[in-house]
Structure 1
């Protein structure tokens, strides 16, 4: 039943009673006596869209966030009404729309329990200063409800009791609880009574979310302009909610495998001799590394798309020599274009009128690294096309493999607010608007244009782009990092939470500046941060460079050895990480899982921040305090193997885990089959002639996957991939692995080396594809054996 709440609140306006209803296939239209309109769209059985207008009509329906390939369609749709309400029923949901005031209640269609209900519901405030409405929505907070998401907020993983602002902001050396920072991702997940739902407020204006801070039993969200336009997703599993949101806003294509390797960056590596010194040291010390980054000093006077003749006189030769040694070159490109008539990028942008303008006509002028700049309007398709074309020389001619978009909030120096003034005008793909609406999507559209440029000129290879600023849906084009963090233990903890939160918000391909961007870590902090960073989808050391060196060898031999050890673990796990990325790309499943996402039924997980699952089967918990020889951590329910000792721990409780500086708490789910490469100094250095499968025995069943393709290019979209599904079963005196394979890709290796951990019996017989084999034939020793990659059924027995 809807709550009876007084319809008077701070002078806000509210819908009155419904006077008209009509249905147009899957879109339901409701009109009130005071001309408020609600458009309810049934996208799927578990996904509804609510769109409100206060003026009797809707503007053109346009959003940068929504993926054109998002799933549509439902199994059941029925509409009825009674004296009190309209009732919309799908296979998963029942939605009540109350006739007296347009408020909403959403129930589970199976057990009829409340999932989400309006408190005041939709209301608005007329703002003469803003020139439009402040649109608002308030919901009842259910008993024991928790909230998650909102992108890169450096806050506790559970948002309850807090308030947030979404406004992309250059936030150098931000701290715990700094808000807002670089990204605006207005999507959150609610969880109560074992059931989860999500709300995506698709409004690119400055938005706010209050999770029971102002009023204990109310959660609300509002925007300083635009429409009240939100999507509702139902699980009841939290993972299904995140998958549905990610399906709606999209996932990236698969990256080149090298993009999942280790990357090294600093502000700034120059001149060429310094770059070569760094890359040589990686190879001399045998520390794997796939990418070297060039920050703004590679340019001529910080002019984008130029090279410093002094520092990099022959960039094409240098980039090729780096490539010959296994290093892909990634360069930074910012949005600010220096005002300089001798500079052809500026001159062309000026001639074609591609730069952002103020409301009364002049170009938007702002100071960034090159000095005074104009800024392209990336919301114009022609400008994005022009920008994409500017990458021809960098990518096609010189051979750069990746581009890093920075300062794209957009950041402007020496002005209040550190960005464009609100009167700057944008095309917004044919929907002209002010910067108030375009600000949060500016960085996204820059990254989009960059991505299309790299895709065009790097073809037939895959592009690699990284962005600092983002809005919902940016994950379709690019990876991201968390911006200018600080070399402190607190920031190590923040980086862990931010990566989990971004994964919960549909943006998995993310990582932090390992070691901290500002200030100087000591060796212990750097080693502990590497240990965390190798389990994030994007893995890069980056520092500001003004405080000394921050390479893996910058401390002492002990730290160098620890860093090498963990980067080698990442390279061993590349097939596991790549498979995890495939599951993200293909099934919209987040690559990292907070414990609450992994097991929402265990209420102990609802406030856990440090532990997370990498992929589906590796449990990670960083050490985030100095001088630690271990830590207490929560082990999720089930059985888990200590990665180092192979000891089995039964979860569902907190436990002490030893972890000297050269280890970290790391566990593998019982029953898992983890694929591993031999260590390489860079992706493609070695031809893989044998793939290792680490099998962790359990009494019971567990499924694992292995996805493989050519590691670059687009043949995988034509069926040339290999997806192996491993079904594991153990029952005390017998162990069976079955493989189901699909796809046309033929891997370079011929055999699997299978290492079995925790086997509770002595093996007396082995069957491969129902044929008994000699133990010597499969080189069976110490519970390890070698079998052909073509096997489909492996059976080990005690008799």
Structure 2
């Protein structure tokens, strides 16, 4: 406990101090003692009044089939112009008018917005300013389809394969691809917009009573949470009253939906209202600090991406619910012959099993993007065009990171750094947590523990390594602390409703929070990362944004009160899920701007939202050293990846607790095949650096870390692909095999790219596992290179020193097999090409390289090679300009070569192998020496000493 409180300096306001100290003690002792999340700290839907009201509204419509949605299009109000369909809606229950706009977008998607036509005051709609890279362009390629008088239909897109139908009464929107419905809005009639009103306005219907409407006409009935709400003794004043929005979104014909991270749940989302293995609460999106979170739970965690994808044979579809307020999503699945509302009105079509969802947000406007695919890769690209693609990181960022709370001092850092070299284990980054600061004051150093931080960073930088320090958003209230004083003088802090600076409790004690939604606050924080501002920082130092949900120990649900005020007068309730991305954005830009010319940043964030992929990596938060937390990491990361944020990982070993050697080895094996690969541990855990466990365990960990480094060329190539196409880096089985229904709910194995099939071992004592190999394809054991015998579900041996990994036939992967201390030391190492042929004797692959630091690749200074094997020829062709005068990077590595090629699955062993360059001015054809493996491999050939340059195009012929 002394370690946690030794640096705290408390306020002179003794009463307040005692309260906060008690709360902080209670919180931290609970964190150290309890081995499961404290559910009572976090709301259920029943305790969230707007969720309860909207759920009750849905129940009422479902229970009474004679009730239909009261929203209808006002006759003759629809206007179609320049890719926008607009019109007015009327709610027949209160005669309020709303306006809707449906935008047909060039990216192959559509957008619908619904708002009050004449609101009492503006409703919040600025989530788009953070999530979207620009307002999407409208398509002018559409055709009006003749239809019934009460239906407006258009086809759009170049081939007119996409269509939308707007049903006027009741209001319903249906999106179709090739005349087949794939997304329907308000199919069940759950559209519900609680209009802004004055508190004394009569006739407000309380939807929480599903049998008899209760009318609220005075201030006496406030326990419904309409104008004031209390949770765990903390009051939310709710000055604007009820303002929630709700809408049902159906995916006809789709039995599986995915996405809406972050939850410790399965990849294929579960039902939340009935059905087998159903949750009792909806999935919740509300960024929260939930230590030791439970697995298999729809509770909200650290990040929120309101994106959901549906997939079936022949079709994929997705939606983005662009809202940053607290949001709940119910999921139900049905096997009815017709949708209930469609059947009732007589225009339904027969459909197979469908999935229906109900989206409920506390405030804001309805702003929904519908992505129409038709494939998952189309959706990833469409989503990337809308919210931005993953920022291409510096190359060190995808290597191995070593972290704990906390390395004690400079001597400790030096000893850890030297021990990695002593035990021949590569690593790239060492991290410092909150104890490196002067009293939890960020942008400072504890000068006793870290007297010469620049020297410390330079010493590891000489080896090509980097350091990361934590910079959290809570600012210690101390007028002698320059960060606090500047932010206070510039009026940058989040305010109480009465205008006072908010004072909450976090690691430094009494703290305030900068309002990063304020452009002035963004500009201010960006400047703080300059080398002359962040004293002790160097070009080797990068940043970790933790606690940015934001986490506030004294706040409701351990976060910020909803009635606090942000820039523009907006309440925190409107933009809660944006706070983390706003902080992440400014930090990332600060690291870019500190150098001239600018260099790529590395910033790890715990909180995230749609668009966070533009700023850096995230991790899954404070997990536990338990087998079930190791197991849940895979579906969590797959879900985050398909939701547009592929640079993610889970803390290796588990943050809380002390893993035994078996669990730790298995976690390293799984972590080595995750995009972000970091070991991390709580301050009260035992030290667990890889060499502390002795052989054979240290050897097992060393081997898998080295394997990560050998595969860095593949990982970097996949990051480049993600940065240009939106494809996730680790991929669910269904994205690689979209027609194989067996894979649709599979989340215990996955692909790295399209080439490596990985099945982590996640059970104690397990030495074999069942791996699913889709039929009619060839797979090779990645480590032994032996062909897998059989297809479908195959039992595979998995001793403690091996994770099952398989190379898919038809793929070529690049590797670097020199053993180095860091990725920087590999810059000019030669390559090995591992060629795995499919049953047709073909394979393809690629290699992307640049300097791994700067933005020179945007000027064409990179290498991008395409490898193909067909008709017994291996060809390397360039997808980039290799002319040394136009490509300075190619010039810098002109001597780098491919030193080894391994070909698996040749139908006939070659007698001769010849190499030649393409478009050479002179005859350079030469014969290569090759050998056959001593082990019993399936028609494998190994070519060594090829001396083929990666900056030249060449062909190898097997005869």
Query: Superposed, which structure 2 residues align to 1:593-742 within 5 Å?
Result: 593-637=731-775, 638-649=777-788, 653-677=792-816, 678-698=818-838, 699-730=840-871, 734-742=872-880
Between Structure 1 and Structure 2, which shows a larger proportion of strand residues? 1
CA RMSD of aligned residues (A): 2.5
Task: Give secondary structure in 2 for the equivalent of 1:649.
Answer: coil
Structure 1: give runs of 5+ residues left out of the alignment. Answer: none
| Aligned counterpart in structure 2 of residue 171 of structure 1, from 282, 290, 304 | 290
Q: Deviations over 1:520-545 (max 9, x none)?
A: 10111111111111111110000003
Looking at structure 2, the residues matched to 84 and 650 of structure 1 have their Cα atoms a distance apart, in angstroms, of 60
| Match status 1:88 vs 2:154 | yes
| Match status 1:102 vs 2:248 | no
Looking at structure 1, the residues matched to 154 and 63 of structure 2 have their Cα atoms a distance apart, in angstroms, of 26
1:13, 1:124 within 8 Å by CA — same for their partners in 2?
A: no
Q: Deviations over 1:210-264 (max 9, x none)?
A: 1107999632112111111100001121232223123211123311101111000
Q: Deviations over 1:345-381 (max 9, x none)?
A: 1111111111110111111111111100111000001
| Match status 1:204 vs 2:328 | no
| Aligned counterpart in structure 2 of residue 38 of structure 1, from 100, 113, 120 | 100
Looking at structure 1, the residues matched to 699 and 546 of structure 2 have their Cα atoms a distance apart, in angstroms, of 32
Q: 1:474 Cα shift?
A: 1.0
1:124, 1:133 within 8 Å by CA — same for their partners in 2?
A: no
Match of 1:455 in 2: 592
Looking at structure 1, the residues matched to 710 and 140 of structure 2 have their Cα atoms a distance apart, in angstroms, of 44
Q: 1:64 Cα shift?
A: 3.3
Task: Give secondary structure in 1 for the equivalent of 2:562.
Answer: coil
Looking at structure 2, the residues matched to 695 and 255 of structure 1 have their Cα atoms a distance apart, in angstroms, of 27
2:644, 2:728 within 8 Å by CA — same for their partners in 1?
A: yes
Match of 2:12 in 1: none
| Match status 1:775 vs 2:775 | no
Looking at structure 2, the residues matched to 167 and 455 of structure 1 have their Cα atoms a distance apart, in angstroms, of 29
Looking at structure 2, the residues matched to 515 and 692 of structure 1 have their Cα atoms a distance apart, in angstroms, of 31
Query: Superposed, which structure 2 residues align to 1:45-444 within 5 Å?
Result: 46-56=108-118, 62=126, 63-68=128-133, 72=137, 74=139, 76-82=141-147, 83-90=149-156, 91-108=160-177, 110=178, 112-118=179-185, 119-121=187-189, 123-126=191-194, 128-129=226-227, 131-143=241-253, 145-162=255-272, 163-178=282-297, 179-212=299-332, 218-393=356-531, 398-399=537-538, 400-427=540-567, 431-444=568-581
Q: 1:78 Cα shift?
A: 1.5
Looking at structure 2, the residues matched to 48 and 7 of structure 1 have their Cα atoms a distance apart, in angstroms, of 32
Looking at structure 2, the residues matched to 16 and 87 of structure 1 have their Cα atoms a distance apart, in angstroms, of 14
2:182, 2:251 within 8 Å by CA — same for their partners in 1?
A: no
Of the two, which has the highest radius of gyration? 2
Structure 2: give runs of 5+ residues left out of the alignment. Answer: 1-60, 92-96, 196-225, 228-237, 273-281, 335-339, 341-353, 882-886, 934-940
Q: 1:619 Cα shift?
A: 0.9
Residue-pair matches, total: 787
Looking at structure 2, the residues matched to 509 and 87 of structure 1 have their Cα atoms a distance apart, in angstroms, of 40
| Aligned counterpart in structure 2 of residue 506 of structure 1, from 620, 626, 644 | 644
2:175, 2:184 within 8 Å by CA — same for their partners in 1?
A: yes
Please, what TM-score do these two structures have when normalized by structure 2? 0.78
Q: Deviations over 1:295-343 (max 9, x none)?
A: 0000000101110011111111111112123321100011111111111
Task: Give secondary structure in 1 for the equivalent of 2:599.
Answer: coil
1:17, 1:101 within 8 Å by CA — same for their partners in 2?
A: no
Q: Deviations over 1:410-466 (max 9, x none)?
A: 001134311111111111xxx531010121110110111111111111443211100
Looking at structure 1, the residues matched to 261 and 542 of structure 2 have their Cα atoms a distance apart, in angstroms, of 24
| Aligned counterpart in structure 1 of residue 680 of structure 2, from 530, 542, 545 | 542
Indicate how the Cα distance of structure 1 residues 242 and 590 shifts in structure 2: closer, same or farther if over 3 A, else same: same
Indicate how the Cα distance of structure 1 residues 689 and 373 shifts in structure 2: closer, same or farther if over 3 A, else same: closer
Match of 1:524 in 2: 662
1:358, 1:425 within 8 Å by CA — same for their partners in 2?
A: yes
Looking at structure 2, the residues matched to 213 and 486 of structure 1 have their Cα atoms a distance apart, in angstroms, of 32
Task: Give secondary structure in 2 for the equivalent of 1:554.
Answer: helix
Q: 1:772 Cα shift?
A: 8.5
Q: 1:546 Cα shift?
A: 0.6
Looking at structure 2, the residues matched to 56 and 651 of structure 1 have their Cα atoms a distance apart, in angstroms, of 66
1:47, 1:231 within 8 Å by CA — same for their partners in 2?
A: yes
Please, what TM-score do these two structures have when normalized by structure 1? 0.94
Indicate how the Cα distance of structure 1 residues 106 and 6 shifts in structure 2: closer, same or farther if over 3 A, else same: farther
| Aligned counterpart in structure 2 of residue 445 of structure 1, from 582, 588, 597 | 582
Looking at structure 1, the residues matched to 773 and 180 of structure 2 have their Cα atoms a distance apart, in angstroms, of 31
Which has the higher mean CA deviation after the structures are superposed, 702-711 or 744-753? 744-753
Looking at structure 1, the residues matched to 107 and 464 of structure 2 have their Cα atoms a distance apart, in angstroms, of 49
1:19, 1:32 within 8 Å by CA — same for their partners in 2?
A: no
Task: Give secondary structure in 2 for the equivalent of 1:278.
Answer: helix
Task: Give secondary structure in 1 for the equivalent of 2:600.
Answer: coil
Task: Give secondary structure in 2 for the equivalent of 1:159.
Answer: coil
Which has the higher mean CA deviation after the structures are superposed, 241-250 or 437-446? 241-250
Indicate how the Cα distance of structure 1 residues 33 and 593 shifts in structure 2: closer, same or farther if over 3 A, else same: same
